[in-house]
Amino acid sequence: MSNPEKLLAGKVSVITGGSMGIGRAIAKAFLDEGSHCVLAARSEQALAATVEELAAIGPHVRPFPTDVAAEEAVRSLIDFTLEEFGAIDILVNCAGIYGPIGLSTDVDIGEWWETVEINLRGTYLCTRLAVQAMIQQGTGGKIINLAGGGAASAFPRFSAYAVSKAAVVRLTETLAEETKEYGIDMNVIAPGGVNTRLLDQVMEAGEAAGKAHMERSLRQKREGGVPPERAAELAVFLASSQSDGLSGKFLSAVWDDWRSLPGRIPEVMSSDVYTLRRVTPPES
């Protein structure tokens, strides 16, 4: 029996990138709030270790090795979730890579495109198939995507990442419009600078990451970065009924006062706040 006082009691979640970093923190927070979780990532070993660790928390957690850029693999992930738990209520698209680090004219073309395939196509495929299942269920749903550096401004030497993450935000805004009649809410989280494998990759890239970025990263490494639990807390809010009606928004786990949102969702939804828009001069 699930505890109805928990925010996600009995809800079924799929969390891609759930084997480590921010995805693992989200999985832990969701399990704490009573959700059943299917965790997806490519490495079977990392998934198995995480699932073993999280299984002690309570509700059911299952691993499902998946490459989110591969349509058949994503279809199997959704089918497995429906067979195992009978529904899919929440999808968190957390799987992501930095891709090649360096000047866009120098990096490998194949690696550049692979980044778009994982970050953008992966988010699109998982969302598409989860939305189809949610519409068939007729019970609404919640989709949470992860933005990143470059989504809202230029991110030199990380162009594939920046391009794919900006596109994830616009994909979210667009699909939020397409799915609102089905009671599906879809939002994006900017988690802040979290010390994960991505930061280690910047360290390994050295000079290719650029002097300014390297200095910021070294400082972040030293000072500890933003705890992944900040993004996880926001993800719980966006996955819960507390955020019903809030959709198509791009929220910072660190800088935005998202805890005050429940009382002002209609006001926020009637404006362009928390979206990607063109800035025009005051006189126009």
Ligand X SMILES: NC(=O)c1ccc[n+]([C@@H]2O[C@H](COP(=O)([O-])OP(=O)(O)OC[C@H]3O[C@@H](n4cnc5c(N)ncnc54)[C@H](OP(=O)(O)O)[C@@H]3O)[C@@H](O)[C@H]2O)c1
Would you please indicate which residues are annotated as catalytic (active-site) residues?
Answer: 161
Find the binding residues for ligand X in span 156-195 (CB under 6 A): 191, 193-194
Q: Which is nearer to ligand X, 6 or 98 (CB)?
A: 98
One residue of 35, 66, 81, 179 binding ligand X per CB under 6 A = 66
- For the bound state, the minimum distance from the C-beta of residue 193 to ligand X, rounded and expressed in Å, comes to 5
Measure the CA–CA gap between 147 and 167, rounded to whole angstroms. 9
Closest by alpha carbon to 18, among 241, 199, 55? Answer: 55
- For the bound state, the minimum distance from the C-beta of residue 73 to ligand X, rounded and expressed in Å, comes to 8
Q: Which is nearer to ligand X, 118 or 184 (CB)?
A: 118
One residue of 94, 175, 246, 253 binding ligand X per CB under 6 A = 94
Task: Count CB-CB contacts under 10 A for residue 223.
Answer: 10
196 binds ligand X (CB under 6 A): yes
43 binds ligand X (CB under 6 A): yes
198 binds ligand X (CB under 6 A): yes
Which residues make up the interface to ligand X (CB under 6 A)?
A: 16-17, 19-23, 40-43, 46, 66-69, 94-97, 118, 122, 146, 148, 191, 193-194, 196-198
